[in-house]
Structure 1
């Protein structure tokens, strides 16, 4: 019998991509509010970036000191990304601040809710996903695409690769057989570079990052490696293309391997379930796979504005599950309180941990010592395994 085969592709973009610059600015401002007033801050910040210009807009509640420091926060974010070019320079970029107070109507529902617990900050649906394709329990194409760019950026910022500019994209196409990735079909990398670096030099530099990013023994055919296909990428970042917060939601999540509810993450405090419930859904799905209860797991959560509990929880294991899906959903709801407050407490979300999420994915990252990426823990896996009579669970 012939194997069921297909190709699947995911892309990533670097922290210097115009949209990611805006995500970083939005999350830097969010972190500032959470640093000053973690329990009371309400933040929904959008940014627009173009040639030597950034506009920040949205709704906030918190200390006036943060509002007054917005211009400095924007420059700090742009400087850390690495923009010091004529058309987008952290020193000279114009910053327009159009932040204003949060709507009282929204605040009433979120702050008071019902049954003594604050409600969700909006209606909507959120998805979480995990699979056993990689050690991080992420789909392999998006995980590999992130690794390529993250490794390149680390060397650029450390001074090891001054030839690279901040703006870059990657794309990885994998071959699948019977649902499992078995090899590389194609890789695309486009990276901003110094004007005096040739196309051949850029290609040679990029090739050095592939072995570390891909699985051992997986090689990219030379005729299927596309580096700067246009031949030149000197002008990059917001100088070359305008950016907006929240336009890379598939890059931020699972690279197209799972559905997306539609809501962006960056710039939103964790009362906004667009963000916190998507993290919770990933946490639950990852622990299901880590517990050995399924090879793939997708969780959907649905909320109504002002209502604390999700109106629906759906679990899908795509035929790989080893336990009843309905029972699994019930067990997960018993183990984790899926109200906005319950999620924040379970995952430790009221901390200034969000600027680091703005590039290279919100998922598949190691949990930091200060609680960053806490939704990537697998601490529920042993209890989940025991609940279904399984003796082996990933720690």
Structure 2
């Protein structure tokens, strides 16, 4: 590794237009899974000025069967979408939860996709698509996440909490953050730059109100990033000036357009598949979650300080095509030994799509909270964020002797 370098990650708030779309899509996933744990969902969302459009393919008992909507199902979908936008906080002239036009273009899942995914006779359930998925963990932070992304998320989470509580009434929902850290070896030693752009109430782009906003943001940063890292920090707060027009009114939003924010902030490879709007038969989602689970448990078990894991699948095929482990020369045992140990664990069931869902309990309405501030590095609580558990460490160590 280089002895010294700069690295940067960004995050976006729950009110960013792409994240509004992600949360709507995952609210639909949760709605359908709450009615049918075997539902099939691929829900894409478009948001723009006073408009939300849903498109995609679905199959769900009690909602959409045999090409027909159940009575009241479309009304429930619309109510779910409007409630999601209301909870984010949009009541603006250009985007209001109660006033935007809503268009539902969801339709039935392709029979040709279904025949590859569904279990039948002696055939196990296959993967919902082909693709490669990556998981990553590093000991830079307590949550075993890259520090640049960890701090970027935490800044915006704190600002959103203050907006919702009324502690910062001048904030509006749309915001972005970016943190640059200087590393010496594998450790961050200084935050050289912090960027925060936040939508704000009128008047907070000049004079005393602008100074109040800047002071507030610097206080949030100081509450998130350790003081020892802030001794040489350059701040860029709303560097373009005014930011009153935001959210879907300021820029169209689409599901799945923030995949680096959702994962590791660029610190690890990405297979290219988005998560939100997809049921867990889609390995874009479930295999990315199990890859993170495995990488995190490898690091938590003390087998490495950094770990990248790749899985690959073919549509309609249950068995993964490949498993790759890279501990970046930080491992206490060989990477090939870790690969063999993972594949030998009966509790992982060969990493088939059904085994992944069973191990992590993914056929539940648990997804909307993951659609803002990252799918990884979150606290596992109850059924939520099960891929963040570190309950595989003993089994891994035992398998390695």
TM class by shorter chain equals: over 0.9
Choose which of 222, 238, 259 in structure 1 pairs with 2:248.
Answer: 238
> What is the number of residues matched between the two proteins?
385
Quick check: 1:341 aligned with 2:346? no
Inter-partner Cα distance in structure 1 for 2:185 and 2:374: 27
Quick check: 1:51 aligned with 2:49? yes
Inter-partner Cα distance in structure 2 for 1:85 and 1:212: 30
Q: CA deviation at 1:219?
A: 1.4
Aligned to 1:365: 378
Choose which of 207, 211, 214 in structure 2 pairs with 1:203.
Answer: 214
CA RMSD of aligned residues (A): 1.4
Q: CA deviation at 1:216?
A: 4.5
Choose which of 148, 171, 183 in structure 2 pairs with 1:164.
Answer: 171
Quick check: 1:215 aligned with 2:226? yes
Runs of 4+ in 1 over 2 A off after TM superposition: 63-68, 112-116, 196-199, 215-218, 385-389
- Where in structure 1 are there 5+ consecutive unaligned residues? 390-395
Kindly provide the CA deviation profile for residues 37-83 of structure 1, in whole angstroms up to 9, marking residues without a partner as x. Answer: 11x20000000000000000000001325444221111011000000
Alignment of 1:144-183 (within 5 A): 144-183=151-190
Does the 8 Å contact 1:188/1:227 carry over to 2?
yes
SS at match of 2:19: helix
For residues 165 and 114 of structure 1, do their structure 2 counterparts lie closer, same or farther at Cα, with a shift above 3 Å needed? Answer: farther
Aligned to 2:386: 374
Q: CA deviation at 1:330?
A: 1.3
Aligned to 2:281: 271
Inter-partner Cα distance in structure 2 for 1:220 and 1:376: 32
SS at match of 1:217: helix
User: What is the TM-score normalised by the length of structure 2?
Assistant: 0.94
Inter-partner Cα distance in structure 2 for 1:176 and 1:326: 29
Kindly provide the CA deviation profile for residues 332-371 of structure 1, in whole angstroms up to 9, marking residues without a partner as x. Answer: 12222211110001011011110001100000000022x1
Decide which moves more: 341-350 or 59-68. Answer: 59-68
SS at match of 2:118: helix
Aligned to 1:135: 142
Quick check: 1:247 aligned with 2:247? no
Decide which moves more: 24-33 or 66-75. Answer: 66-75
Kindly provide the CA deviation profile for residues 206-236 of structure 1, in whole angstroms up to 9, marking residues without a partner as x. Answer: 11111221125321546x1110001111110
Q: CA deviation at 1:187?
A: 0.3
Inter-partner Cα distance in structure 2 for 1:84 and 1:116: 50
Aligned to 2:321: 311
Does the 8 Å contact 2:25/2:255 carry over to 1?
yes
Does the 8 Å contact 1:199/1:232 carry over to 2?
no
Aligned to 1:393: none
Alignment of 1:72-87 (within 5 A): 72-87=79-94
Decide which moves more: 208-217 or 331-340. Answer: 208-217
- Where in structure 2 are there 5+ consecutive unaligned residues? 64-69
Quick check: 1:262 aligned with 2:261? no
Q: CA deviation at 1:115?
A: 4.5
Aligned to 2:298: 288
For residues 113 and 257 of structure 1, do their structure 2 counterparts lie closer, same or farther at Cα, with a shift above 3 Å needed? Answer: farther
Inter-partner Cα distance in structure 2 for 1:114 and 1:157: 51
Inter-partner Cα distance in structure 1 for 2:280 and 2:33: 10
Inter-partner Cα distance in structure 2 for 1:216 and 1:254: 24
Alignment of 1:57-72 (within 5 A): 57-62=55-60, 63-64=62-63, 65=70, 66-72=73-79
Aligned to 2:17: 18
Does the 8 Å contact 1:128/1:283 carry over to 2?
yes
Quick check: 1:302 aligned with 2:315? no
Kindly provide the CA deviation profile for residues 244-271 of structure 1, in whole angstroms up to 9, marking residues without a partner as x. Answer: 0000000000000000000000000000
Kindly provide the CA deviation profile for residues 3-51 of structure 1, in whole angstroms up to 9, marking residues without a partner as x. Answer: 710000000000000000000000000000000111x200000000000
Inter-partner Cα distance in structure 1 for 2:228 and 2:6: 19
User: What is the TM-score normalised by the length of structure 1?
Assistant: 0.95
SS at match of 1:189: strand
For residues 114 and 165 of structure 1, do their structure 2 counterparts lie closer, same or farther at Cα, with a shift above 3 Å needed? Answer: farther
